[in-house]
Each structure stands twice: as structure tokens, then as C-alpha cells.
Structure 1
Amino acid sequence: MKTELQAAKNWDQNWLTADEIFQGVLMVIKHEKLHFINLINRLPEREYLLSMISYGTAPTIREEKPSSLMTFTKNGKNLYNLWNTYKSEVGKELDLEFIEFNKKSNSVRVLFYKRKQLEECIYKKECRDFLNRVGYGKLMTLEACLSRLKQRFERVCPHEIGIFLGIPVEDVVGFIKYRGENSILCSYWKVYHNPDVARTLFEKYDKAREDIRRAIKDKYQYGQVDNLVVEYAVAL
């Protein structure tokens, strides 16, 4: 008959530590993401591009984030050429506006945005004050602000892009002050203030992407490709 001490010892040997559980969860997540990547890699060019953009801009599609920035290059499946071929269709299908930054012969950065959410973001007093300090006039329209941002992108990736992406002013200022170091949290951006608020936002963004991933998987894994992007964009 086992003593309590022996039973406790066996229990301890068979019990997963928190770290082991976490690693197991990571393995599941990695497996699901790998399956997702393999799935979309088999899609026709147009559907592949739309799936990539939908996943990358999911928080913006859901109107939880004013804009999302993506970079398309000629590496891999050459998203640069696919973007140039199908970009006129993308905005309509995903109900997103966009503007290109720093376009070169082999790469381009594209800011996808929801007009209402982006205007509300940049016209907040603290955001407007910051933009004013770096050369954006108080009476500039959204189009004028985006045009100014595009000009500045020709020389360098300007710090104020964080404002347009919905990053809190305190974190933009913190990033500048500490030169990207000493953040207390790092995910969609480097956090220097109010980490609990940031975590809540990051969880919403992650859920938006997960919903998109599942929608793509549910449709495409059975070969149903027609009108997919329209269907799940509307569903969100």
C-alpha cells in the first residue's frame, strides 16, 4: 500500500509544470499556424493575396484599430506583383481605404484604414497636439495628413506613424525617449504606459486575427473559394 508520501511523489512526477503546459499550448498554436500557412499557400494568386491582407488587417476590418501597415516585397510568392495586379479590387472587397508609402522597384508599404476610425484617432486632442509638433497643421484634413505622412516616408519611417496606427501617444513618446528600449511590454507595439490597457487591446487584435484565420480555414480547406473574402469580411 502506497504511503501518502509515495503517492505525493508519484503525483508530482506526473504533474505538468506551468512552463510545460505553456510550451504545449505554444506547440498547438504553432501547428495551427503552420497548417494555416500551408493552406493559403495553395490558393490561387488573388485569393492568396486577399487572405494575407485580411489576416494582417483583421483588427482594422473589425474597426478596433484605425489602420494597419503592411509591406509587400518580391520575396517568396511575390506579394509586390500580386498587390500591383489586384489592389484595385482589395479595398472594395474588404471595405478598406489605402495609401501607398515609399514605393520602390521591389517593395511597397501600404496603410489600410477605416476613414471614420482614423479621423477620430488623429483628431483626439493629445494626438493632434503631437502631430502639430511634428509639422501637421491644426486645420489639415485627413487627406492632407496622409499626404504629409507619405512625403515623410520617402526619407524615413517617421515616429508619427504610431499615431495613425492607433498607438497611444504616451507609448509613441516613450519609444522616442528611450529609443525603442526599456519597454514594459511588447506585442503590436512597445508599451511604456498602461500595460493592462494595452493587453486588453492586444487580446482584441489577436481575436480578430484568429477569427479571420478560422474563417479562411473553414472555407478553403474544403475547396470552397468563391466569394470567401466578402463573406467573412461582412461576417466580422
Structure 2
Amino acid sequence: MGIIYLKGCDYNMKKTFIDLLDNLSNKNYMYYFLTYLLSPVITGVKPSSTITLKKEIKDMLNVWNEDEEEYLKMLGLKHIILKEYPGSKTILIYNENNLKNILCKDDNKNFLSNIGYSRNLNLNEYLSTLKLRYEKFHCPHELGIFLGIPLSDVKAFMDCSKEKCLMCGYWKVYENEEFAKNIFNYYDKSKEIVMSYLLSGLTLDQIIPKISNSYDSIAS
């Protein structure tokens, strides 16, 4: 298996988890690893995540194409394909209600309108526009809004701010450092919980009900 960088958790736990992944079938590898990556979305801390699936890594692309409906139904999440490449595809996996709430914020709606999105779009229309712009610009800056990054940080990064960022974690933080630290911690905590459950031998059918939309307990 290729090198995997796992944020959060102590070194020994991460090493044990990587060893576990190494010994799984291709299908279980995809299920376990994607659940780890998507844990902040599953817990409700984050509205969506982008994932790039590659055929060369445990045949993940083909496994996804065969099992995507079953897997996403188990998680209670949805997805769109942002772009397909030879041997890989990049997708956005999202919690429908949480993403709607992000895109309904007036500041976000105004920002998206100013860069080419029509006003008063429904969720599917927002996602269709994002897909078109992703194919045209490759990872457009406004993707950060869909991922739950604060608008102020998206704008500062987009403007190539000469101001030094306050910190760099899951994104570059230019304002409200304490808020970002808390969110980064919630991301890490979500991943650590999933990793711990998987290492304890629980199945995904047992884990998902425990962590789904558990933001309040994660943040406590």
C-alpha cells in the first residue's frame, strides 16, 4: 500500500490502523479508509469532503464504482463527481442538510453570486455549477465554502493575501484563529473515534449509528 498520512491520533494508533488496512480486502480497505477520511462529515462537523479515488491504490476506483450506492446509503451521505481522469476520479461527498445550511447563509450566497453562480439556486444547481467550474478551473477557490471553510479565510486565500496566515492546518487561517483551532480539533477527534472503533473490532454497521450527526458530543 502507498504511504498514508493520517492526521490526528498518536503514532502507535496510526501505525496499528495502517497495519490493519494493509491486511484488508480491497472492498473493506475502501470502506474503512473512506470512513476514516469522511468521519468529520459523518459526525456533522464538516458539510462535505473531496476524495480522489485511484485505481492504482487497492483498486479503489473500481470498488467504488461497484459499491458506491451501498456504501453511501450506509453513511447517509450523497456525492457528485467533480472530475474524472484516466484511472481516477475526484468526488465531493456531502451531508445534504448541512451543506444546504452552509449555502443558505447570506454572506456565502452573495459571495457565490459575485463569482458567477446564479442567485437563489437549489442545492443540486449549486453542485452542478461547482462541477462545471471545477472542470474549467480545477479546484476553484469557492470549493472552500462547500467544505465548510469560513468565508473570510476563503476570500483571503483567493486574494493571495500578503498578510501572513495565523496558522495552517486543514486550511490556511487568516481570521478567528481560536475558532479554527476548535474545528481542527473536532476533525481530528472525529477521525480518532472512527479509528478507535475500527481497531476495537466493531463493524461499520455498528459504528455509523454511534457517530452519525454526533457533533454535540464531539464538541463537548
Pairwise TM-score range, normalised by the shorter structure: 0.7 to 0.9
In the alignment, is residue 166 of structure 1 matched against residue 148 of structure 2?
yes
Cα deviation, residue 69, structure 1: 1.0
In 1, Cα distance between equivalents of 2:177 and 2:96:
27
Partner of 1:218: 200
Distance in 2, Cα, partners of 1:173 & 1:153: 17
**Equivalent pair of 1:175/1:181 in contact (CA under 8 Å):** no
Name the larger-Rg structure.
1
Residue 204 of structure 1: which of 177, 186, 195 is its match? Answer: 186
Identity of aligned residues (%): 33
Change beyond 3 A, Cα 1:49–1:181: farther
TM-score when normalising by structure 2: 0.87
Equivalent runs, 1:136-147 vs 2, <5 Å:
136-147=117-128
Instruction: Indicate the residue corresponding to 1:5 in structure 2.
Output: none
Q: Is the 8 A contact 1:180 1:190 kept in 2?
A: no
Count of paired positions: 203
Which residue is equivalent to 1:230? 205
- Name which structure has the greater RCO, CA cutoff 8 Å, separation 6+: 2
Residue-by-residue CA offset, 1:214-235 (whole Å, 9 max, x unaligned): 0111116xxxxxxx11210111
Alpha carbons 2:29, 2:58 under 8 Å: kept: no
Report what 1:133 is aligned to: 114
Q: Give ranges in structure 2 of 5+ residues lacking alignment.
A: 1-6, 212-220
- Aligned residue for 1:19? none
**Structure 1 portions without partners, runs of 5+:** 1-25, 221-227
Per the TM alignment, residue 80 of structure 1 is displaced from its structure 2 partner at its CA by 1.7
Divergent runs of 4+, >4 A:
none
Aligned to 2:173: 191
Which of 31, 45, 48 is the aligned partner of 1:67?
A: 48
Letter in 1 for 2:182: T
CA contact (8 A) 1:91 1:97 kept: yes
**CA-CA distance at 1:29 after TM superposition:** 1.9
Distance in 1 between the 2:128 and 2:16 partners? 39
- Assess if the C-alpha contact under 8 Å between 1:94 and 1:229 holds in 2: no
Summarize the Cα distance change of 1:180–1:103 in structure 2 as closer, same or farther, 3 Å threshold: farther
Counterpart secondary structure, 2:45: coil
Displacement of 1:120 after TM fit?
Answer: 0.3
Q: Which amino acid aligns with 1:55?
A: Y
